[in-house]
Amino acid sequence: MEVIANGQKIPFNLTDEKNGKEVLQTLLLLTNQANKLIIECKINGEPVSLLERDKFAEHSIDSIKKIEILVESKSQKIISCLEEINNLFTKIGDSCSDVSNMLITGQKHKALTLFSEILDSWRKSINFLRVIESSYKLKFNETEIQGKKIEVSNEELYKVFCEIKKAIENEDLVTIGDLVEYELKEKIKEQKNIIVGLEDIIKKETQKLEQQVP
């Protein structure tokens, strides 16, 4: 089996791996230990999703001739994504103001559609934060940023979203305006502080790893 990382052949010796799924798990483990992140993967020239690696449980070792992976620095990639999420929260605030304006002009359906898109974007950002929580063995129900636990801040923002959705359905313009202007702005500010705090945590953890390298 040949393993290529960023165009270069790398030494890879099988140990107890019995199928394709276990080989992919080993590669994920090794790259994670090296503070790297696999962002693309091909098996025998075919693109594969590492999130669906269970599909390769029935692939024999002999059937895999070549694995090609594209890796990036895990910390740099995550920090880059965190910066994108930071920008996303700014857009969420602006979009919620647009929702209010749509309702004023009688566009309830359009307002609900936009708000659904806002929620979807927020859920994706939360899922990514969960990846960070797992990768760096953090506990959001214990980790505090500027005196507030990350988990608590996330839950409070979700409650504000639920209140806004209910107000949209009821076409309660006064409540929506108050929630967007006061509650939401404060929660978005907290989320931005969380992003900055997580960036600092990741940078410190990366420095520790680099110091451990002989």
Q: What is the CATH number of the domain that holds 170?
A: 1.20.120
* 64 & 80 share domain: no
* 199 & 119 share domain: yes
pLDDT of 56 strictly over 80: yes
User: Does pTM surpass 0.95?
Assistant: no
* 146 & 160 share domain: yes
* pLDDT, mean of residues 50-72: 86
Please state the domain count of the chain: 2
- Residue range 154-170, pLDDT digits in tens: 999 999 999 988 988 88
* 25 & 81 share domain: no
* pLDDT, mean of residues 126-147: 86
Confidence of residue 210 (pLDDT cuts 50, 70, 90): low
Distance CA 146, CA 192 (A): 11
* 191 & 98 share domain: yes
In whole numbers, what is the pLDDT of the chain averaged over residues?
A: 86
More confident call, 99 vs 198: 198
Which residues does residue 69 pair with via DSSP β-bridges, in sequence order? 5, 41
- Residue range 18-42, pLDDT digits in tens: 898 999 889 888 887 777 878 888 9
Q: What is the CATH number of the domain that holds 48?
A: 3.10.20
pLDDT of 157: 93
* 58 & 134 share domain: no
The 10 Å CB-count burial string (b at 16+, else e) for 111-139 is: bbebbeebbebbeebeeebeebbebbebe
Confidence of residue 212 (pLDDT cuts 50, 70, 90): low
**Domain end among 72, 90, 107:** 72
Confidence of residue 140 (pLDDT cuts 50, 70, 90): very high
Confidence of residue 211 (pLDDT cuts 50, 70, 90): low
* 106 & 189 share domain: yes
* 101 & 196 share domain: yes
**Structural domain harbouring 43:** 2-72
* 107 & 128 share domain: yes
Confidence of residue 209 (pLDDT cuts 50, 70, 90): low
**Domain end among 54, 72, 90:** 72
pLDDT of 49: 81
Take residue 187 and report the two structure tokens written for it: 């929660």
**Domain end among 72, 94, 126:** 72
